[in-house]
Amino acid sequence: MAYTLSVLIDASGRINFGHTYARYAKAASHSDRTRAGHIQVIARIAGWLVVCASAAAAQQQKPRVHLVATGGTIASTNYYSDQGGKIGVADLLRAVPAIDSIASISTEQFANLASSMITPSHWLALSRTIADTLRARPELAGVVVTHGTDTMEETAYFLDLTVQDARPVVVTGAMRPADGIGIDGPANLYNAVRLARDSGAVGRGTMVLLNDEIFAARDVMKSNTVRPDAFAAPYRGALGVADPERIVFHRTPVRAPRFDIGAVRELPRVDIAYVYSGADGSAVDAFVAAGAKGIVVAGVGRGGMTGPMREAVSRALNKGVIMVIGSRAGSGSVPVGAGVRRGSDAPATIGAGDLPVQKARVLLMLALTRTSDPREIARIFAAHQ
């Protein structure tokens, strides 16, 4: 039996239902036809409500992931011109419609900056935002942060050292801009969400995902200026991979107790001094004069220095500045040591272990929020190897 329904809203705003119930169209009385029409409308509304309810239920069953956007190439357009543009978090998501099928995403535009503009104050604020969100939303599976790649490893390590929640924080970005050719941003974002909602990611801390590879925030380094496979963990290797079928973990990262930054308003000044042939001690002296509480030296090989630099380091130690010695080699370790000279209480340099100097700086900044005792700081560095 064919049935046709029409709804007309007249000039006075009254809703009129018109309908034809084919077999009875002629025979049925006007009130019967009206009743049939109303039933039909109610049935349709009920059907629509059922569809909405099941869509909402499906949405609720999907893992929930919170996306915090901070900027970087992934959010940049016209990148290689002097008229660069930016896109916001909604456009980042629009480029990856498939995300909708794997997670229910909430978003936050924390900043829209090149990562060279991200400062230690941003680290503090970002870490607090993530911690607050995780605390307030127990239903979240994890958090994804989009970030410029240039200083991604520093922000990611800071988050790894300060976010206490066991749920994963995944930092991602892109080496190619949002309007580039063969762009990597959408795939990286999609895989980052897959990782953030993966139950195997719980307890692995902050991770960095680009180019299908998963790295511990502690171990990862940007190792190329433009290529999509720019990220590597030269000393310890990747944590796992985002294969098309599943997230695969090869190992669990080393994780020491986190730092509580609840009462920290500002991070202490820590600088990095680079060693090279003929380097004198000017950089170290200048950092001390500028008020550095700690200095990380990017030594040659296993932490070597020129004679004048060694003298500048001794001067800094005598003034109570904490001196951490790493390597500019890019891989390998400088033994941590005890923080004081053997047989005396005179301060000694502390080795960075296998932390790259930019990561040793992050750890030293946080260690200095707890103590300025070199022995204690050496213990903290040892615990984070």
Q: Does 205 bind ligand DAS (CB under 6 A)?
A: no
Could you tell me which residues are beta bridge partners of residue 5? Answer: 19
Question: Judged by CB under 6 A, which stretch of 61-69, 143-151, 329-337, 366-374 contacts ligand DAS?
Answer: 143-151
Among 120, 142, 148, 186, interactor with ligand DAS by CB under 6 A: 148
- Tokens describing residue 1: 């039996």
The least distance separating ligand DAS from the CB of residue 342, rounded to whole angstroms, comes to: 43
Query: Which residues face 207 on adjacent strands?
Result: 170, 216
Piece in contact with ligand DAS (CB under 6 A), picked from 11-19, 128-136, 145-153, 315-323 = 145-153
Kindly report the number of other CB atoms within 10 A of residue 249's CB atom.
17
Say whether 119 is catalytic.
Answer: no
Contact string 9-48 vs ligand DAS (x = CB under 6 A): ----------------------------------------
Q: Provide the 3-class DSSP secondary structure of residue 6.
A: strand
Write out the binding residues for ligand DAS, residues 223-252 only, by CB under 6 A. none
Q: With CB under 6 A as the rule, give the number of residues binding ligand DAS.
A: 9
- How many Å apart are CA 273 and CA 254, to the nearest integer? 27
Should residue 114 be labelled a site residue for ligand DAS when binding is judged by CB under 6 A? yes
Whole-angstrom Cα distance, residue 328 to residue 306? 14
Q: Which is nearer to ligand DAS, 112 or 333 (CB)?
A: 112
Token look-up 């692995």 returns 204
Shortest separation between residue 174's beta carbon and ligand DAS, angstroms? 6
Q: Would you call 316 helix, strand, or coil by DSSP?
A: helix
Nearest by Cα to 224 from 325, 330, 328: 330
Residue 173 touches ligand DAS, criterion: CB under 6 A: yes
Among the residue ranges 52-60, 142-150, 188-196, 271-279, the one whose residues contact ligand DAS (CB under 6 A)? 142-150
User: What is the identity of the amino acid at 173?
Assistant: G
Q: Following CA atoms 182, 178, 120, 124 in sequence, which dihedral angle do they give, to the nearest 10 degrees? A: -110
Q: Does 149 bind ligand DAS (CB under 6 A)?
A: yes
Q: Is 185 in the site for ligand DAS (CB under 6 A)?
A: no
The verdict on 150 binding ligand DAS (CB under 6 A) reads: yes
Residue 287 CB, nearest approach to ligand DAS (Å): 24
The answer to whether 167 and 134 are in contact (CB under 8 A) is yes
Reading the block at residue 267, the tokens are 């991070």
Helices within 181-248 (DSSP H only): 185-196
Kindly tell me which residue out of 73, 104, 327, 349 binds ligand DAS, with binding defined by CB under 6 A: 73
Q: Round to whole Å and give the CA distance between 198 and 191.
A: 10
Q: Could you give the residue numbers annotated as active site?
A: 73
Binding site for ligand DAS (CB under 6 A): 72-73, 114-115, 148-150, 173, 175
